[in-house]
Amino acid sequence: MIKKLLFVIIAALCGIPVFAQELQSPEQFLGYKLGDKFTPHYRVVEYFKYVAQTAKNTHLQQFGTTNEGRPLLAMFIASDDNIKRLEEIRHNNLRIAGIESGAVIPNSPVITWLSYNVHGNEPASSEAAMWTLFDLTDPLNAKSKEWLKNSVVVIDPCLNPDGRDRYVNFYNSVRGVTPDASPSSREHTEPWPGGRVNHYYFDLNRDWAWQAQKETQASVGLFNQWLPEVHVDFHEQGYNNPYYFAPAAEPYHKDITQWQRDFQVVIGKNNAKYFDQNGWMYFTKQEFDLLYPSYGDTYPLYNGSIGMTYEQGGISAGLAVVTRSGDTLTLVQRIAHHHTTGLSTVEVVSANAQKVVDEFKKFYDNSRQNPPGQYKTYVIKNDNNEKVNELAKMLTRNGIQFGYGLANKSVTGYNYFTGATEQYNVEPNDLVVNAYQPKSVLLHVLLEPKTFIPDSATYDITAWALPYAYGLKAYGVKESYKAANTNSSVVKPAALSNTKGYAYVSAWQSIADVRFLSALLKRNIKVRYSELPFEAKGKKFTAGSLLVTRAGNEKIDFDRVVTQLAADMGHEITPLSSGFVDKGSDIGSFDVKFIKQPHVALFTGDGINSEAMGEVWHFFEQQIGYPINLIRYQDINRIKLADYDVLIMPDGRYNDLTSDNLQKWVSDGGKLIAMENAVASLVDKKGFDIKKKESKKDDKPDLKAKQSIKLYVDRNRDAIRSSIPGAIFKLNMDNTHPLGFGFPNYYYSLKLSDDIYELLGDDDWNVGTIENNGYVAGFAGVKSKQKVNNGMLLGVQSLGHGSVVYLVDDPLFRSFWENGKLLFSNAVFMVGQ
């Protein structure tokens, strides 16, 4: 100590900067005060690495990388003793949950997890993360030392580094010497696509349960290895709003326990204490509800944690902005608020540590012994092994246990697709999920046929039951049955060797088949499809089945290349030694069509819904591995459309669409795929047959309604009468049309709006329609339910030599509506051949 003091005095005399502390604060490390400028992600990483090297009660883990190669980090902070036994604490916590077996060590520390900056353009988060980290690791901080006696704190400084840097680089590139606080200055208007989303324009705070994205797979993967008792997701909202913290708004999902509700209030009151002391404005219990399972608050809640969202006002606020009330909101203030709630949360959780751990244990005991919901077993029929595998992968990512088959084969259960209770046989490869397991709450939330939704406005979609999303026949069974096996008895198809095929057949029913087609086309292997079902070699093949014939592929080492590719992909193909089939049209028939290898282009840029566009982009690049050209919609009159065979118009606002060149391109043989609002933009355009179906004009206000004059306070409730925040509807499907290939004669669509169109004319094809009452699940306002009837949602129009595909709903929504992927692939590869 004397030595140190001496050094300080000498250093001060010599003009050397003096650090009284052993650990540098962010300001000392970065060389500027937090809030003076935005810190690029690599500097945040450097600070975390520095602290990990300097503070001995920390452990830094890189658990993944982003699409653009940035590191994903989690910093573990604990007492000096606990940091040495982190792995033991982790296993112990999983034992408390009953996920791992073994004796539980008593007095286990509580785990508080703080996640920052999932939305890249809500950047105060990562700045606050550095300050919070400093306070928790600073050896001179007595308070945090106390908290860490019974707490492990985990800080993920940035869940979305690619998005954060997109925002920070934008802001730094346009700001002046002094920040311009005027809201209309350009530094407060981000260019398309904005920094909220990740590289593929996915909203990572809608992806927790689906884990479609690389970042979420890594972060939720780590989350499930730990299962923290408390999780906070730090955000920013519109800058005119005061701070929001827990307790959340209604609706709460019914499976959220009273304890989870109550402790949110305890945490909220502790936050409020500090906000009151400072005179800072805040609100609770409004706006942010707890229903949709893929958020950073609900997902932890369904996993036994206290999951919460904290929202600072600040999107697009830059370093300073004048708010509606005439005050100037600065980044410095925004950081201070997030810093305060972060520490306040750690404090109050530490003060209640034992109770929080006990309740966490209770949640899991209950989950295993008394699972929620009326169904105690779910059976997923294995009509297609590859489709069931996709679901199995998703369940596995979420730690949900399942098996295959039942010892007693005949079972009675609720059929999701007919709504009837039926007796049926369980086959050995049917997927069986027993509800008596640690993750039974999450299981119930994801599989219950209808989510209970109180009559209330919500922030997001209200229906997601997996059997509809995956298009898999499923039964809910009230009795508890254990699966007979933990492994499917379907073995990966053995590689074919020494075959000499006239042709090879692949099914066309799942994304695995689309991947196989993509791989064939990329190798310039010619592929055909059968427009009609046929039977050969004792097998039945549905319409759309892929045929790779020797004819046309003589230049390659045909048998070896095709069988090897199938083997590499674990994909089942059937060799045919003759073109003469048992039933149906022969392989050489006119009913077997050649699939032209399409050059696909996708509109991007201003006006396009970046998330909808990103879903298409991600689908091609990351899911089926097929090349796609991204072109700016603004360049439509400049580019040579003739270079492309397929042009995809994702959802967006196509203002002043001059459709003449589009129409000409289609007439010359192009295929236009219009999705969601892009469909609306083609209404009344020359050559396009699409007509919007308006709600009936006979809405004469009846006398009763007239008498009750509407109240201003009810305005939100009135608005939801004509809204569909995301509900499931059943369509009749013409599966003889290429757009319907691989489907039964129905399809479950996730509707995000009440858009529906008039049936197309005699020369066109109405492939997906709703005749009467297609509503299945989710919230749909009274008016909207009436409107979505007797109309077209999937259609194909011929135009000259080309065709237009109308997809009124989004089949690739957040990449979790698994069954939509085949529908979309039909539009791209099958229609118009």
**Which is closer to Zn ion, CB of 119 or CB of 339?**
119
Look-up: residue for tokens 């197309």? 760
Backbone angles phi, psi at 315, to 5 degrees: -60, 130
SS3 state at 596: coil
CB of 229 to Zn ion, least distance (A): 23
Spatial distance between the Cα atoms of 826 and 671, rounded to a whole number of angstroms? 12
Spatial distance between the Cα atoms of 682 and 826, rounded to a whole number of angstroms? 21
Closest CA to 766 of 815, 732, 810: 732
Residue 259, CB-side half-sphere exposure with 13 Å CA sphere: 19
**Which is closer to Zn ion, CB of 204 or CB of 406?**
204
Q: How many residues does the chain have?
A: 833
Structure tokens at 63: 């658990």
CB of 798 to Zn ion, least distance (A): 44
Beta strand 765-770 with 791-799: parallel, antiparallel or unpaired?
antiparallel
CB of 771 to Zn ion, least distance (A): 40
**Which is closer to Zn ion, CB of 290 or CB of 391?**
290
331-351 and 258-278 helices, crossing angle to 10°:
130
**Which is closer to Zn ion, CB of 122 or CB of 559?**
122
**Which is closer to Zn ion, CB of 300 or CB of 738?**
300
Residue 683 CB coordination number (10 Å): 13
**Which is closer to Zn ion, CB of 117 or CB of 488?**
117
CB of 190 to Zn ion, least distance (A): 14
**Which is closer to Zn ion, CB of 311 or CB of 559?**
311
Residue 269 CB coordination number (10 Å): 16
**Cis peptide, bond prior to residue 371, ω within 30 of zero:** no
**Which is closer to Zn ion, CB of 310 or CB of 743?**
310
Closest CA to 261 of 281, 285, 244, 243: 285
**Which is closer to Zn ion, CB of 372 or CB of 614?**
614
CB of 174 to Zn ion, least distance (A): 22
Structure tokens at 725: 């925040």
CB of 119 to Zn ion, least distance (A): 4
CB of 235 to Zn ion, least distance (A): 3
CB of 161 to Zn ion, least distance (A): 15
Look-up: residue for tokens 């050209």? 629
The DSSP annotation for 511-523 comes to HHHHHHHHHHHHT
Quick one: which H or E segment has residue 476?
strand 474-477
Beta-strand runs (E) in 546-643: 546-549, 574-576, 592-595, 600-604, 629-632
CB of 64 to Zn ion, least distance (A): 20
CB of 117 to Zn ion, least distance (A): 9
* Class of residue 765 by CB neighbours under 10 A (exposed 0-12, middle 13-18, buried 19+): buried
The residue with its CB nearest to Zn ion is: 235
Question: Contact positions toward Zn ion, by CB under 5 A?
Answer: 119, 122, 235
**Which is closer to Zn ion, CB of 314 or CB of 768?**
314
